[in-house]
């Protein structure tokens, strides 16, 4: 920095230059002939994101964005057919006349389902949802699986992890019967990256990177995209896969809407009902400004029991038996609630700005009782369906019985705020955003566990028979020493783990800017004949490329010859 430059001048200049560049980008006039348009369903309610839009005469192709908008720039003057197709819908063709340089032509397409010739049709079921996902997957630049809101709403999913369970190549790790962590293509969940509206979601839980997706209700989500291959716009630590969670936008529909949902489930063991409520809305205040959001609340009470056997060995007679057998009973209460809000603004035809926020809290209380048998001696008898243990003299004949209790309550919260936009400038599309994310996990006054044990040894002091004839519910019968087995005074405390206070918080600020080429403004220039040989390469300004002009003229001449 020059010595005579006042302190702070360089940073001021940088900020001023950035502001000027952004202002000029938002208000940038058309510098070449442009065709823009929208694609929606026949009812004019939902934009058809991922619809394929082509100009066959020029070899140009693009796809509709989330608002159903498409754009071609750098077009030579002339009249062209524009063909729009969408999975499960009848393709539509319209003609457009492109004027001199700087002109902008507007188009509008409304696609009806295949095989319908009536004015209005209501499609209910999985087919329409599947076709929407297929079209968005086709329009993607990489291998991606898309789950849409309508498809997720047809199933009683408790959270985002459970919604991901139906995607190919996805394995979900459960906790108390609910999905929590997600593995992509069998890789460790620590190798995945998770984002909400493009902002990375930090993880809490010590040194782990895996994000607990049971915190986020599925009712708040517009779509989930699972990307299994890396692209240049993704973080380099996305080794396993990228899970991108998108919330609703006011431009997702052409008309205002409000949805309300109510669900209930009953657990037979706890004899408790669990309610669940959700609401979503979108309001277009003007054609270019809108607000959308949602809220979800769920309180689930349930009980479970399970039996676990470990440390297997084999008797001299060839029968298998377990050296550790556990009988567990759980009483669980989980409360999950969250909300999201989005503000969308289109200040110019080539610019869309947004602010999106999401907050979710997951309160998990778990009570557990556990009875553990740990016999030291081998069974005195065994069959294909069970075995019997009896204590004997000395430590080698000792039978250990453990009883422990667990009382744990844990809170987890996820917060994400993203502000950004998208601006089309010539053949380029500029995506930019700034985000703040926060993940928190708290635990206060948890006991996990408090253990009591009793050791019985000596001939006839204790005996127990295990019946494995029903593998779903193995049973046991105390044959000797039942009085001592049921006497609380015979047990002594051997372990206590108490969490006084745990507060783990992770925050992340991020700024991001990408400048991908608009698909509709990229053509492939192939080798041709003429005075100036052409090589195969990508062209970002087809209208100004000599090879592309010659190819376009040759194609037009061929069409005229064929028509005559």
pLDDT tens track for 318-327: 999 999 999 9
Residue 454 lies in a domain: yes
Q: Is the pLDDT of residue 112 over 90?
A: no
Q: Among the residues of 113-234, which ranges form H helices?
A: 126-139, 149-152, 160-164
Q: Specify the higher pLDDT residue, 418 or 145.
A: 418
Average pLDDT, the chain: 82
CA atoms within 13 A on the CB side of 485: 18
Residue range 437-493, pLDDT digits in tens: 999 999 888 998 999 999 999 998 999 999 999 888 899 999 999 999 999 999 999
pLDDT band, very low/low/confident/very high, at 545 (cuts 50, 70, 90): very low
pLDDT band, very low/low/confident/very high, at 207 (cuts 50, 70, 90): low
pLDDT band, very low/low/confident/very high, at 45 (cuts 50, 70, 90): confident
CA 56 to chain centroid: 36
Q: Specify the higher pLDDT residue, 289 or 124.
A: 289
Q: Is the pLDDT of residue 558 over 70?
A: no
The pLDDT of residue 350: 87
User: If we measure between CA atoms, which residue out of 360, 303, 369, 298 comes closest to residue 334?
Assistant: 298
Q: Is the pLDDT of residue 18 over 60?
A: no
Task: DSSP for 461-485, please give it.
Answer: S-EEEEE-SSTTS-EEEEEE-HHHH
pLDDT band, very low/low/confident/very high, at 154 (cuts 50, 70, 90): low
Residue 247 lies in a domain: no
Q: Specify the higher pLDDT residue, 353 or 522.
A: 353
The pLDDT of residue 517: 58
Q: Please work out, in degrees rounded to the nearest 5, the angle formed at the alpha carbon of residue 376 by the alpha carbons of 371 and 381.
A: 95
Contacts of 205 (CB under 8 A, 6+ apart): 212, 441, 504
The residues with which 301 forms a beta bridge, in sequence order, are 333
Interatomic CA distance for residues 183 and 192, integer angstroms: 8
Residue 437 lies in a domain: yes
Residue 363 lies in a domain: yes
pLDDT band, very low/low/confident/very high, at 535 (cuts 50, 70, 90): very low
84, 116, 148 - which closes a domain: 116
Q: What is the mean pLDDT of residues 84-89?
A: 87
Residue 346 phi/psi, 5-degree rounding, is -115, 90
Domain that residue 429 falls in: 289-553
Contacts of 192 (CB under 8 A, 6+ apart): 182, 183, 184, 210, 211, 238, 239, 240, 241, 242, 243
Q: Is the pLDDT of residue 361 over 90?
A: yes
Q: Is the pLDDT of residue 563 over 60?
A: no
Q: What is the CATH number of the domain that holds 52?
A: 2.60.40.1120
Q: What is the mean pLDDT of residues 140-156?
A: 78
Residue 530 lies in a domain: yes
116, 144, 176 - which closes a domain: 116
The pLDDT of residue 123: 52
98, 116, 134 - which closes a domain: 116
Q: Which range is least confidently modeled, 64-68, 203-207, 254-258, 384-388?
A: 203-207
Residue 372 lies in a domain: yes
User: If we measure between CA atoms, which residue out of 240, 398, 423, 436 comes closest to residue 347?
Assistant: 423
430-to-163, 516, 520, 547 alpha-carbon distances in Å: 31, 7, 14, 27
Interatomic CA distance for residues 399 and 402, integer angstroms: 10
Residue range 165-187, pLDDT digits in tens: 888 889 999 988 889 999 998 88
Radius of gyration of the chain (CA): 32
Residue 99 lies in a domain: yes
Residue 221 lies in a domain: no
The pLDDT of residue 360: 96
pLDDT band, very low/low/confident/very high, at 286 (cuts 50, 70, 90): very high
The pLDDT of residue 119: 56
- The domain tally of the chain equals 2
The pLDDT of residue 428: 81
């Amino acid at each position: 920095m020059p010595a005579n430059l006042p302190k702070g001048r360089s940073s001021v200049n940088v900020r001023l230059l950035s502001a000027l560049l952004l202002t000029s980008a938002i208000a940038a006039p058309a510098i070449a002939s442009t065709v823009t348009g929208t694609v929606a369903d026949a009812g004019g309610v939902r934009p058809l994101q991922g619809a394929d839009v082509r100009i066959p005469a020029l070899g140009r192709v693009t796809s509709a964005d989330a608002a159903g908008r498409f754009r071609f720039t750098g077009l030579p003057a002339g009249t062209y057919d524009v063909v729009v197709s969408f999975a499960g819908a009848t393709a539509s063709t319209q003609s457009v006349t492109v004027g001199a340089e700087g002109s902008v032509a507007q188009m509008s397409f409304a696609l009806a389902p295949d095989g319908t010739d009536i004015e209005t049709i209501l499609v209910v079921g999985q087919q329409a949802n599947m076709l929407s996902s297929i079209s968005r997957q086709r329009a993607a630049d990489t291998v991606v699986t898309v789950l849409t809101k309508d498809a997720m709403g047809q199933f009683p999913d408790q959270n985002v992890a459970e919604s991901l369970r139906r995607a190919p190549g996805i394995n979900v790790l459960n906790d108390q019967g609910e999905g929590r962590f997600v593995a992509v293509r069998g890789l460790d969940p620590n190798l995945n990256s998770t984002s909400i509206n493009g902002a990375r979601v930090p993880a809490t839980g010590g040194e782990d990177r895996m994000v607990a997706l049971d915190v986020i209700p599925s009712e708040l989500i517009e779509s989930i995209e699972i990307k299994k291959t890396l692209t240049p716009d993704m973080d380099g630590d996305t080794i396993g896969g990228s899970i991108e969670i998108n919330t609703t936008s006011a431009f997702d529909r052409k008309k205002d809407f409000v949805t309300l949902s109510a669900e209930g489930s009953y657990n037979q063991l706890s004899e408790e009902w669990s309610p669940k409520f959700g609401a979503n809305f979108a309001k277009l205040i003007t054609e270019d400004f809108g607000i959308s959001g949602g809220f979800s609340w769920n309180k689930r009470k349930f009980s479970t029991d399970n039996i676990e056997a470990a440390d297997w060995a084999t008797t001299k007679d060839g029968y298998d038996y377990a050296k550790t057998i556990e009988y567990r009973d759980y009483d669980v209460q989980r409360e999950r609630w969250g909300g999201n809000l989005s503000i969308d603004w289109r200040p110019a035809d080539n610019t869309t700005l947004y602010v999106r926020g999401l907050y979710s809290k997951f309160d998990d209380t778990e009570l557990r009782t556990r009875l553990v048998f740990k016999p030291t001696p081998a069974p005195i008898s065994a069959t294909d369906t069970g075995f019997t243990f009896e204590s004997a003299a000395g430590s080698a004949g000792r039978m250990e019985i453990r009883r422990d209790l667990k009382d744990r309550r844990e809170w987890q919260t996820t917060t994400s705020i993203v502000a950004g936009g998208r601006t089309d400038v010539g053949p380029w599309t500029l995506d930019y955003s700034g985000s703040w994310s926060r993940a928190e996990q708290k635990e206060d006054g948890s006991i996990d566990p408090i253990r009591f044990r009793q050791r019985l040894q000596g001939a006839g002091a204790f005996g127990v028979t295990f019946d494995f004839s029903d593998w779903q519910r193995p049973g046991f019968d105390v044959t000797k020493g039942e009085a001592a087995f049921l006497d609380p005074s015979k047990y002594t405390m051997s372990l206590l783990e108490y969490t006084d206070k745990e507060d783990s918080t992770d925050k992340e600020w991020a700024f991001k800017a990408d400048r991908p080429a608009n698909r509709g403004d990229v053509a492939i220039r192939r080798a041709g004949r003429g005075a100036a040989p052409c090589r195969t390469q990508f062209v970002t300004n087809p209208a100004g490329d000599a090879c592309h002009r010659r190819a376009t003229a040759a194609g037009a001449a061929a069409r005229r010859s064929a028509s005559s």
